[in-house]
Structure 1
Amino acid sequence: MKRNLLILFLLLIVLSITACGKSEDPFIPKQTESKNENNDKSDTPTSGGDKRYLILYCSRTNNTERVAQTIRTILNCDILEVEPQIPYDNDYNSMLGRAQKELEEIRQGNYPEVKTSIDNFDNYDIIFIGYPIWYSSMATPMQSFLHKHASKLSGKQMALFATSGSSGIATSVSEAQSICSESIFIEQSLLLTSLTLPQMESRITEWLDRIGADREESDAPENSSLNINIKIGDRTITATMENNAAARDFLSRLPLEITLKDYNNITEKIFYPSPALTTEGVTRGCTPTPGDITIYVPWGNVAIFCKSWSHSNDLIKIGHINGNGIEALSIDGDIPVKIEQY
């Protein structure tokens, strides 16, 4: 009798385990009605002034997002984040495990769901595609997005940019070309690794110049509008500003009446604009010479150099004092000045 009860008990356990084993496959997220509704929803990119370009990006650690936002600042264009249907776990090892499984699924032709969708790309000249590199491949959400929109991207120019720890970009480029075989890929792609990410702004600017992507400036200043007067008592000296976003921001605030503070034994004359001048998307790096007007990015101050100084990646040049005008500022102490555009 006891033996029969034991057999019956074991049978119940086996049946219970079998029933549990019929639950959803852990490798494939369960589909729901609300998910399908979201998949059919079209997303609207955040709009910029220049409608020729669209930036699409996916990002988990924000590195790719930083690159995308820098490109957007330079081009003043539309931007949209590509998001997975199911967010990734914050735990790094868990995320890696999921990424490996999704990459293997894609090789079998099964793309994970993304909740981002766009109706058409007709009005854009170039579509920028940004993503992190996972195990040498394009991050799976972007692969899924391209697969989902391949027909809509037919004939469109595509420019790829990526971030990685140290992996190359070649495999991901091949993946994109395979998924969107009817698209036109710009030959030069941009890769920023952990070693080159600190030079992000300069590398992005150089890349955009190489591929011929520039900002549409309907109200670009004439050469004469880059000139300023600096009045020091009864004397007026002149300067010519650079044609970059930081210098244009400076010009937009004129006229200014300020006091230039002496810094480092007449090496620089400085002041602090409020709010700080824009520096996003502007190429950094300057070896200042006497007369250079610069921004020291970490502090946000404008520094007019009276003496030569060593190269700094934290300096942005926004102008230069003409002729020997810097001599008027190369004196001890603070100097009240009035700066006007002419």
Structure 2
Amino acid sequence: MKRYIIYFFAICMMFTLASCDKDEPASPNQPETETPEEGGNENENPDAPNTPSEHKTLIAYYSYTNNVERIVTELRLQIEADVVEIEPAQKGLDYAANNYALGTQLLNAIKANPNSASSYPAIDNVEVDMTKYDMIIIATPLWWSQMAAPFQTFLFQYGPQMEGKSIGVIVSSASSGISGVVVDAKRLIPKGNFVEPNLWIRSSQTTSAKSLIEQWLKDIEY
């Protein structure tokens, strides 16, 4: 009888252990959830534009006898720049007739009252966003040791917007020195950062503009 009782308790114990094994949850083998590191790029927008700062140049010029236009044409082959040409509003005027009588008249009107817009000859409307440019190269002919009147009009309108920008000066003349043109430029662009040296190309040197421009760009460390 005692032996049957022992068998009975043994069988009960086996059923109890089996029941416990069946109900115990197995340890799941789940991958760990990755927590983004602090300062990571999980919130960065991959489509956000990447716009590095660009240094842009503007060439502004006026050409009466086409010498300046030839110089600018060569300059454009050597640097990447936007270009704006200044043209008088009144067409067909001969500024050089009678020893530059008309040109002298225009220059004298500016000299008499340089701070009045009415002193400057009218030019075709130009629209330039100066905020786009870091450097402005101005190219102009010389009239009686001064900057050609139509180009003075352009600088009277836009010179104040050139504040803090690098300014390069190119002048074409038959023989006269260019110091008067530089004085006009600095008066009309009072807060420009003028680079040195200026580039003076005489009319007789226009065919050599390529090499003269190359050297000038090196000299100003363009």
TM-score for both structures, normalised by structure 1:
0.46
Structure 1 or 2: more helix by fraction: 2
Residues 120 and 152, structure 1, Cα contact 8 Å, conserved in 2: no
The amino acid across from 2:108 in the alignment is: E
Query: Does the C-alpha gap of structure 1 residues 92 and 181 become closer, same or farther in structure 2, counting only changes over 3 Å?
Result: closer
How many residues matched? 164
Structure 2: state its 5+ residue gaps. Answer: 1-53, 114-118
Question: Within the alignment, does 1:174 sit opposite 2:183 as a pair?
Answer: yes
Q: Quick one: which of 168, 187, 194 aligns to 2:196?
A: 187
Q: Any unmatched runs of 5+ in structure 1?
A: 1-49, 214-342
Q: 2:63 aligns with which of 28, 37, 59?
A: 59
Shift of residue 202, structure 1, vs aligned partner: 0.3
Alignment-derived partner of residue 337 in structure 1: none
Mapped to 2, the partners of 1:203 and 1:90 lie a distance apart of: 30
Contact kept? 2:95, 2:101, Cα under 8 Å: no
The CA deviation at 1:178 is 1.1
The 1:55/1:143 distance shift into structure 2, 3 A limit, reads: same
Q: Is the contact between residue 51 and residue 78 of structure 1 (CA under 8 Å) also seen in structure 2?
A: no
Find the counterpart in structure 2 of residue 141 from structure 1. Answer: 150
* Counterparts in 2 of 1:169 and 1:91: CA distance versus 1, 3 Å: closer
Q: Which of 105, 110, 133 is matched with 2:109 structurally?
A: 105
| Structure 1 letter corresponding to 2:75 | I
1:65: Cα distance to partner?
Answer: 0.4
Render the CA deviation track for 1:72-115: whole Å, top value 9, x for unaligned: 11113211101111124258416822101000000012111122
Are 2:95 and 2:103, in contact at CA under 8 Å, matched by a contact in 1? no
Structure with more strand by fraction: 1
AA at the equivalent of 2:180? T
1:82 aligns with 2:82: no
Contact 2:156 2:188 in 1 (8 A): yes
Deviations 1:307-340 (A, max 9, x none): xxxxxxxxxxxxxxxxxxxxxxxxxxxxxxxxxx
1:206-225 to structure 2, matched below 5 A, reads: 206-213=215-222
CA distance in 2, matches of 1:164, 1:142: 15
Say what the alpha-carbon RMSD is for the aligned residues: 1.9
Aligned to 2:124: 115
Letter in 2 for 1:194: S
Larger Rg over CA atoms:
2
User: How many percent of aligned residue pairs carry the same amino acid?
Assistant: 30
Question: For residues 211 and 118 of structure 1, what CA distance do their matches in structure 2 show?
Answer: 28
| CA shift in 2, pair 1:114/1:94, >3 Å | farther
Give the one of 128, 131, 135 matched to 1:126.
135
C-alpha distance in structure 2 between counterparts of 1:209 and 1:162, whole Å: 18
Note if contact 1:127-1:156 (Cα within 8 Å) is conserved in structure 2: yes
* CA deviations over 1:129-173 (Å, ceiling 9, x no partner): 000000010111111110111221122111000111001111110
Distance change (3 Å), C-alpha of 1:66 and 1:120: same
Q: Which has the higher contact order (CA 8 A, sep 6+)?
A: 2
State the distance in 2 between where 1:51 and 1:130 align: 20
Runs of 4 or more consecutive aligned structure 1 residues displaced over 4 Å after TM superposition: none
SS in structure 2 at match of 1:60? coil
Distance in 2 separating the partners of 1:157 and 1:173:
14
Aligned to 1:165: 174
